[in-house]
Amino acid sequence: GKPTVVRPFFNNVAMWPAGSIFSNASDLSRWVIAFLNEGRIEGKQILPASLPAQLAAPRVPVPGETDSHYAFGLTTFKFRDVQFVGHGGFSRGYGSMIQMVPSRKFAVIVLTNKSGETMRKSLSKAMELGLGLKDDASEKPAPVVPLTKAEMNAYVGTYSHAPQTWEVSIKDDKLFLKYEGKDYPLTKSGDRKVTFGDANENELVFVPGKSGKIDFIFTEIYGAKRVK
């Protein structure tokens, strides 16, 4: 569609601890170089040598994933036994992603000027070329398993992480997600996991509360609580 200027600029204080820094590729590259070299760049110690390891140390398991944790403003995960560290983010008007492999001193930085865009295919290709790794899961898609009626009924509800809202509903015996004004069909991808998006590129995890009932959802870096 036609680009529009959004004013006032989107500002959510809930995002401040994990992002909301205005930067550019050059400055981020220097930060990444220092991170991958125990705080050193151009022969100078600009960060405490122990800081990168402290920031990347796993703290909290990520729902729905194995070997994936949230650290201090970073996410960690393993792919083909290679440890990745990074973080992505997006808001109205831009998107960004940094993925680092400390053991290889390798990183990819993506900055875009489109809402929610992090150029995942380009990021994967850069990783493939730089590390010799290839995510062949996209070439061998898992068979689609339909959601049961019990699963759909358990997931239906409205989930909120103000000011954002995710609405899950059933239409024509199929499960749909309404997010930011758009309706997406939900496809089962695992236990309490579904995918959505124009190319099913986003994953959403339904998380039970203490009672066993689904009380939360988790997608990207967002957690949201059931409000209806």
pLDDT classification of 135: cutoffs 50, 70, 90: low
Domain ranges of the chain: 13-138, 149-226
Measured in Å, how far apart are the chain's first and last C-alpha atoms?
33
How are beta strands 68-70 and 75-79 bridged, if at all?
Answer: antiparallel
**pLDDT (tens digit, 9 = 90+) per residue, 28-69?**
999 999 999 999 999 999 999 999 999 999 999 888 777 889
3-state secondary structure of 61: strand
Which pLDDT score is estimated for 72? 92
Same fold, 13-138 and 149-226: no
Among residues 151, 136, 226, the alpha carbon closest in space to that of 186 is found at 151
Q: What is the CATH number of domain 149-226?
A: 2.40.128.50
Domain 13-138 part of CATH 3.40.710.10: yes
Contacts of 42 (CB under 8 A, 6+ apart): none
